Homo-oligomer: A and B are copies of this chain.
Amino acid sequence: MNHGVVPAVVVDGTRSILAPLARLLARLGVHANAVTVVGVIVTLAGAVVVAGGQPLAGGLVLLAGTLADALDGQLARASGGGTRFGAFLDSTLDRVADGALAGAAIWLGHSTAHATLVASSLALFLASSLVPYVRAKAETLGLRGDVGIAPREARVALYIIGVLIWAALADQRAFEVTVAVITLLTSYTLVERVRDVARALKNEGKR
């Protein structure tokens, strides 16, 4: 799996930390889909807190939601494998969470009258909805479409880091710069994926 700019040590470290929790939940009979739904609700709550201009609380709630989101896949595997509906639900709710994160930045820009934040987070909303769409479309064509430097975990990790730097410096501009960086990385990822699909289909004849 492609983790983009997130170092492998962070991905593997997070997994090792969550592994005992996943096994515990599996033993208690908690269903992976329940963790998926709780994770997105927590993330939505975190997005609302960020949109309201409270970075410390918002960042911590988002971190909790993201860990729950990382947990559901492990729990599904620990419980003997996920269902196709579970995978569909997880992907769809990831898109809801992506939209909530970009939407929170738009709302923050609107309510604090920062037009540049509104503009860059509108671009982020579009790019972060297109990146997984292009992948799903590529999959319907029998391709993979998962290349790119900023897959979801990279985008979410950078977003939370930006929120926490904003909290630490008590300066919203730190978050605004982070959103602009994520927007650029996500747009570049989109270009990479479209180019990848175009290359794979280029020498094909008519359907």
- Residues in A lying within 8 Å of B, measured CB to CB: 80-85, 87-88, 91-92, 95-96, 99-100, 103, 106-107, 109-111, 115, 118-119, 122, 125-126, 129-130, 132-134, 136-141, 194, 197-198, 201-202, 204-207
Among B83, B136, B205, point to the contact of A133 (Cβ < 8 A): B136
Q: List 21 A-B contacts (CB under 8 A).
A: A83-B204, A83-B206, A84-B141, A85-B204, A88-B138, A88-B141, A88-B197, A91-B137, A92-B134, A95-B133, A96-B126, A96-B130, A99-B130, A100-B126, A107-B119, A109-B110, A110-B118, A129-B133, A132-B133, A136-B136, A136-B140
A84: chain B residues at CB < 8 Å are 141, 201, 204, 207
In Å, the complex CA distance between A19 and B140 comes to 29
